[in-house]
Amino acid sequence: MNDTRLAPKIRLHVAQPLGPAQTVPLEREQANYLFNVMRLGPGDLVALFNGRDGEWLAEVITAGKRAGELRCHAQSAPQRMPPDVWLLFAPIKKARTDFIVEKAAEMGAARIVPVQTEFTNSERIRRDRLQAHAVEAAEQCGGTYVPEVTDLLRLDRLLDQWPEDRRLMFCDETLAGGAAGLSGFARGDPWAILIGPEGGFSEAERARLRGASLARAVSLGPRILRADTAAVAALTLWQTALGDW
């Protein structure tokens, strides 16, 4: 083991279990990244996490162009689970949708749910590509958990099957300038945050959300925000008031 590198700069998300002396075979893309792009070789160290077992310090045992193997040595960080908050958002332009997913993963969302509203501009997403962005964000920000990105779901159908114990923070642009609206709630309860599309919610959607017993309409300040900015602002507001910040 190369003791000259005790703080590896590279973090990698893997699917395999992690533990003392556990070996981890690499997929082709992972091997290409570590050995061809980052130029690692046998004896170099990598930080691994899988979303369940914390972060582990692992040594490169074999390194090839298309494959390789790592071996775990010691846990370098415990498993840290995010608070139980989902981010629901209407997809927008590709780069800005990518931004929302990346920031949600960095800021501690437990689940990311693209929703189709009446005014959603984008009716299709690449769930696998968005999931990869969530993985990359967790690798870069030091997280040990990667939120699931779901398929695109219709908002009305999602509300039809809404869990009875999960509160919904509904970011209503018509309340711009009003109070945030999150006082009086205890930390630790399941929540979801809903960000609308660029065109806002329809009157029917707004009426249904305002009438839902578990929904709380909130303001994100005195200005109407773009959808990607609103996602970051809403997560910041919720994390500060009810999350783990």
Give residue 153's pLDDT: 96
The pTM of this model reads: 0.90
CATH domain 85-242 topology: Alpha/beta knot (3.40.1280)
Q: What is the tens place of the pLDDT at every residue in 129-170?
A: 999 999 999 999 999 999 999 999 999 999 999 999 999 999
- Taking residue 138's Cβ as centre, other Cβ atoms within 10 Å add up to 21
Give residue 8's pLDDT: 74
- Tell me the CA distances in angstroms from 79 to 126, 143, 168, 188, 236, one per residue in order: 29, 9, 27, 18, 22
Residues of the chain with pLDDT under 70: 1-7, 177-180
Cβ–Cβ under 8 Å, residues 174 and 201: no
Sign for the pseudo-dihedral over CA of 219, 223, 226, 228: negative
Q: Which CATH superfamily is domain 11-77 in?
A: Hypothetical PUA domain-like; domain 1 (2.40.240.20)
Among 143, 132, 113, which Cα is nearest to 33's? 132
Residues of the chain with CATH 2.40.240.20: 11-77
Residues of the chain with CATH 3.40.1280.10: 85-242
* Number of separate helices (H) and strands (E) present in the chain: 6, 12
